[in-house]
A and B are shown apart, each in its own frame.
Chain A
């Protein structure tokens, strides 16, 4: 059973518009969430993270929102750029009592069209 779900395998957005990538989780023990970006033939690159004590974290064009009651988080990219085209993975961990391993979703492929 998947504990972290990214239900949209792909998303296409026009350059300059907002990209919204969604992620749902089932394990209420998760208290730290991360987004990674992955280009073909490369490893995942850390993008942004959020602790469960917050509901929003912003870094430049990237903002992550966390809704704990809905067990849902989203990544907003604004404005979207063609270089943002990549696969985005949502990941979660349960830091209390955790050994540190990340649980990943299957990823969403974002295409930003010029």
Chain B
């Protein structure tokens, strides 16, 4: 079974530009989560999809961040326009959505650097 995959692995952009991150969850996982780790700090929750619906987006920092999960499969996270403080590692995780929903399986992350 393939794990959670994320693309790209790294992205370096200038302040004001747009970046789109992609996450492909484990096949059959209804729950998809985005997290972010800023340098030296803890991993923080951004939002949670159940299939194609946003279940909880309380962690989204501001309206420059837009997440979508069309068709309930892969998800994208767009940052527009990017600011310096958006730099960090963006992780995606998925879980099945039944009794084992607590166990979230993480992707390798996308390392974003905004210059």
Contact = CB atoms under 8 A, between A and B. Distances in A.
**Chain A complexes with chain B:** yes
B108 A99 contact: no
Contact of A100 (B95, B106, B109): B95
Interface residues of B, number: 28
Interface string B89-115: 001010100000111111111000000
Interface in B40-84: 40-45, 48, 55-56, 58-59
A42 B108 contact: yes
Given A43-B107, A89-B43, A104-B42, A99 B102 contact: no
Contacts, number: 66
A95 interface: yes
A99 B45 CA distance: 11
B31 interface: yes
B21 interface: no
Nearest to B111: A41
Interface in A1-48: 2, 4, 32, 34, 36, 41-46
B26 to A, nearest CB: 12
